[in-house]
Structure 1
């Protein structure tokens, strides 16, 4: 019968220490009353001694070189004189040469042109990550290319799914997104991938959730430092799909989208437009609440991401009775007037008015918590221009 070893036995510990690091236990270590050190240590000592000798020699040679230079006679040649012919430059050329045109000066001139708009980047001028010198041009570029990655209206090409099924899928994805504590960028990119894929390829009803969970995997790999594992995603689908099915669908989606994932989603514009609104925590939460409600509604796909983001800001300001509802600063940074946002804002207001009656509660529960100022519990003001009876009726019929 084998003897059972007890962890922490002092005898065992002493034996282990002797085997690993107690040099005195090595054979021949006690000869002549001193340790028997390996030859490699003597060799290393010789190398260090030789290196020190070389360093001393280099330092001495450097001192001697400095001394030689100090004793050297310095001969200074007189400067040669040349006849200089002065040509009077053209006045316009002188003016152009004196004018130092920099990128910052262009931004300054642009800011002066919008004198009534607040400088929302002044607090970040020393923050390199804010890219203050380039941020305006970045967002001009985003607005130029946003329609290239904008999903098309695709339900007419889908034979087995409808708008309600899409809303159920988005509601489930929001819930999963909260459980995994993922970044907002991941959620918006996930919905963008789903809609772009569905606009390119008909999907059977049984594979709709598979498309959603695979899109979440792709977006998480793109945006997150630690994306969810495939087995975790299998678990949240209640084992409706296997790991291999998710990976195959991931490859299918990427192939159809031609790996085009760097797109300006609605969240890209939200980050800028919310900053231009100079918000308080309640207003910022209300903006994101309305934007995520818009993600669930299929009709919102007819609007471009920048307009949806600007409309969410405008609607939030109306609901919270901010005056004025739209400012010169917001007009300048969003590129939209109050009149241009009215149709999209009325759609968001209509969706908001029906959120209490809906059975899809993921977004409502998310924004009912105190950490998000419980903005889902804030009712829309009855006198809001976005809730006129004519507007609500027209949206309900559409």
Structure 2
């Protein structure tokens, strides 16, 4: 039986293929790595992604170098909101609903009365001093604002479960900020940095032990929406509220249902002009009021979304005291009526005027800086008219 004929070109083809693969691999090794900030949104999203990843796109943007105006002031995040996946026209309402559901999860919420029920040595005043000091620490190490909000959240949640002595309260503070830094920052401070900031009151081993205790108490559930998470959404709606009002009125006249996805397409078509100084002032004022709320133990009982909505209400009132601070656009998005926010708004207003927490100066000093438009010096009427807590723009 004659042997089968062998194709004389097969071996050269195999060798050529191997060389081509080797060359491609070498090219891949030499190719410059693409930074995370340049990755575009792909429609083929991983279906098994963790639900908490909903907050990651904004976190990524914050950590990448941000632009600034000619005077050095940071540009508000609103300018980039139209490309923010969290505000995708198809999913914006669903994402907000998801965040609202997450914030009421009892496993991620502190007790509203933990100082009375759990703590025997720590009181509300001590907590305020600790949070005020953590604001300074966050400024010292240039941490993103979300790190501060998560730090305070971890402190409240830990104290809701564990009785602590006042001698270890500062240790809890730095360990909570260490955990939050690892969760939020690209390059978090080292453990030694947090020991140093306490004037070496605590050793590295003590900080690491407290870190482990925090993680165990929180069952490693570190994510979740904060005041800052909701504030970004509500500030965006405030920014485009005029356009939303137009569309809302059109829906009423045309007897059609209000849709944020359609509304957003309308806004994108119309286009928006650049943010002026007053818009900068508004966003910084909201951030200032939100950080003031962290100081007050009485604000622990309010949901983050309610605090964010109250902050926007109060900031709008302070910048335009004779105009009703609420409108249909913000109501449709937040689903809060002014009457719902009354207690929280008055609480934060007292903080702003120094009627409460007047001795805590770190947040106030921070927002007296020119890079924040000195919003801590913004004048405010001493009282808010009760008529502003009545809302006739919508009949829910």
CA separation of 1:386 and 1:313: change in aligned 2, threshold 3 A: farther
Q: What is aligned with 1:161?
A: 122
**Contact 2:81–2:236 (8 Å) recurs in 1:** no
Answer with 320-329 or 286-295: which moved more: 320-329
Partner SS, residue 381 of structure 2:
coil
Deviation at residue 383 of structure 1 after TM alignment = 5.6
Deviation at residue 385 of structure 1 after TM alignment = 2.2
Q: What is aligned with 1:36?
A: none
Higher relative contact order (CA 8 A, sep 6+): 2
Measure, in 1, the Cα distance between the counterparts of 2:135 and 2:329: 32
CA separation of 1:131 and 1:51: change in aligned 2, threshold 3 A: farther
Measure, in 2, the Cα distance between the counterparts of 1:232 and 1:123: 33
Deviation at residue 144 of structure 1 after TM alignment = 1.4
Partner SS, residue 89 of structure 2:
coil
**Contact 2:127–2:295 (8 Å) recurs in 1:** yes
Note the 1:328-339 alignment, pairs <5 A.
328-339=328-339
Q: What is aligned with 1:142?
A: 99
CA separation of 1:132 and 1:165: change in aligned 2, threshold 3 A: same
Deviation at residue 124 of structure 1 after TM alignment = 5.6
**Contact 1:349–1:386 (8 Å) recurs in 2:** no
Q: What is aligned with 1:227?
A: 188
Q: What is aligned with 1:306?
A: 305
**Equivalent residue for 2:90, pick from 130, 133, 143:** 133
1:210 aligns with 2:209: no
Note the 1:235-246 alignment, pairs <5 A.
235-246=196-207
Deviation at residue 133 of structure 1 after TM alignment = 2.3
Measure, in 2, the Cα distance between the counterparts of 1:276 and 1:238: 44
Answer with 352-361 or 245-254: which moved more: 352-361
Measure, in 1, the Cα distance between the counterparts of 2:81 and 2:357: 42
Structure 2 gaps, min length 5 = 1-10, 18-77, 240-277, 389-396
Note the 1:1-398 alignment, pairs <5 A.
55=16, 128=85, 130-148=87-105, 149-152=108-111, 153-156=113-116, 157-278=118-239, 280-321=279-320, 323-354=323-354, 358-382=358-382, 384-385=384-385
Partner SS, residue 274 of structure 1:
helix
Q: What is aligned with 1:109?
A: none
Measure, in 2, the Cα distance between the counterparts of 1:386 and 1:366: 31
Partner SS, residue 339 of structure 1:
helix
Measure, in 2, the Cα distance between the counterparts of 1:173 and 1:122: 29
Measure, in 2, the Cα distance between the counterparts of 1:314 and 1:55: 69
User: What TM-score results when the alignment is normalised by the length of structure 1?
Assistant: 0.65
Q: What is aligned with 2:31?
A: none
Deviation at residue 125 of structure 1 after TM alignment = 5.7
Equivalences, count: 276
RMSD between aligned alpha carbons? 2.8
